[in-house]
């Protein structure tokens, strides 16, 4: 079945550092790929998405490129802020009836 693997956290960075959170997936066909962010005590919010190979999703300075050849969708940001501290989930939608398949989440901590 479909699965998503993301780097384990917590990931701790200093403010203004470069961020990469790795995400790889296993799926049949060509799924849509997503990054969701969860701030403390809140639900998940869609951060960005890409629906086909080589698409780049971007939002709030975050980017991720759909790489079919490496089955990856790594999340990047050039300069992180303390307010980016949250849990980030990579997810895919494979066309089945059960919505999204999520990774386990990566807890990001940004220190001032």
Which residues would be at the binding site for other proteins (CB under 8 A)?
A: 4, 32, 34, 36, 41-46, 49, 89, 93, 95-105
Kindly tell me which of 1 and 17 has the beta carbon lying closer to other proteins. Answer: 1
Distance CA 100, CA 92 (A): 6
The alpha-carbon radius of gyration of the chain (Å, integer) is: 13
The minimum distance between CB 74 and other proteins, in angstroms, equals 17
Q: 76 and 64 in contact (C-beta within 8 Å)?
A: yes
The minimum distance between CB 14 and other proteins, in angstroms, equals 25
The minimum distance between CB 105 and other proteins, in angstroms, equals 5
Token reading at 34? 């997503």
Kindly tell me which of 18 and 31 has the beta carbon lying closer to other proteins. Answer: 31
* CA 76 and chain centroid, separation: 9
């Amino acid at each position: 079945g479909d699965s998503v693997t993301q780097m384990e956290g917590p990931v701790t960075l200093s403010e203004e550092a470069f961020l990469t959170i790795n995400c790889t997936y296993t799926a049949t066909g060509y799924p849509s790929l997503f990054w969701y962010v969860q701030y403390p005590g809140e639900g998940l919010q869609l951060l960005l998405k890409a629906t086909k190979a080589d698409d780049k999703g971007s939002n709030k300075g975050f980017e991720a490129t759909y790489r079919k050849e490496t089955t990856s969708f790594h999340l990047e940001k050039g300069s992180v802020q303390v307010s980016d501290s949250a849990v980030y989930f990579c997810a895919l939608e494979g066309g089945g009836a059960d919505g999204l398949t999520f990774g386990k989440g990566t807890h990001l901590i940004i220190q001032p």
